[in-house]
């Protein structure tokens, strides 16, 4: 989200400050990113950034409609400027898996040039002397798809409330 907002700021820097603030993605409600079911996580790997960020925004942005991000994404991918339109179409059609591959450096995605990568993140964390965290985080980022795909979902039975 931060990367996309920086991209928007740089491409629309000629806009008035108030207009530019409206052209920013806002944080999402917690229900989407906090889901912990394995089926959701498997599907999330193949979800596009457009779908991920077009969810309802947090209620702390009370001056904006809950569909702010969705409308912003639609306006960016339908921009009059063909260069901007193509760039945002490519960015919002990337899957989470594509972004993860770029983040860890196993694949280079041109549209994501300039985003922090795993090594940058690890180097920042090492400054805070948290070597164990760095090792574990690096392992999970490098093996995320394998870990998620090997997990099996459970068939949960609904509890019957008799009273």
Does 103 fall in a domain? Answer: yes
**Tell me, what's the pLDDT at 145?**
92
Number of separate helices (H) and strands (E) present in the chain:
9, 0
pLDDT mean across residues, the chain: 87
Compute the distance between CA of residue 52 and CA of residue 31 in angstroms, rounded to an integer.
12
**Domain limits for position 49:** 2-7+16-150
Does 155 fall in a domain? Answer: no
Q: Is the confidence at residue 163, as pLDDT, over 70?
A: no
Does 160 fall in a domain? Answer: no
**Tell me, what's the pLDDT at 18?**
79
Q: List, for residues 59-71, the tens digit of each pLDDT value.
A: 888 888 999 999 9
Does 112 fall in a domain? Answer: yes
Does 60 fall in a domain? Answer: yes
Measuring CA to CA, which residue among 20, 52, 48, 49 is closest to residue 35?
52
What is the tally of structural domains in the chain? Answer: 1
Residue 50 in contact with residue 73, Cβ under 8 Å?
A: yes
């Amino acid at each position: 989200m931060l990367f996309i907002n920086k991209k928007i700021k740089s491409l629309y820097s000629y806009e008035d400050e108030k207009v530019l603030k409206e052209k920013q993605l806002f944080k999402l409600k917690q229900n989407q990113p906090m889901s912990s079911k394995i089926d959701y996580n498997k599907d999330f790997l193949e979800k596009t950034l457009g779908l991920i960020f077009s969810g309802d925004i947090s209620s702390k942005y009370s001056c904006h409609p809950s569909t702010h991000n969705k409308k912003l994404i639609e306006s960016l991918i339908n921009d009059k400027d063909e260069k901007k339109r193509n760039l945002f179409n490519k960015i919002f059609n990337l899957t989470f898996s594509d972004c993860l591959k770029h983040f860890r450096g196993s694949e280079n995605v041109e549209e994501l040039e300039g985003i922090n990568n795993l090594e940058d993140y690890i180097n920042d964390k090492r400054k805070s002397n948290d070597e164990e965290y760095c090792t574990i985080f690096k392992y999970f980022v490098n093996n995320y798809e394998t870990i998620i795909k090997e997990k099996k979902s459970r068939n949960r039975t609904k509890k019957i409330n008799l009273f």
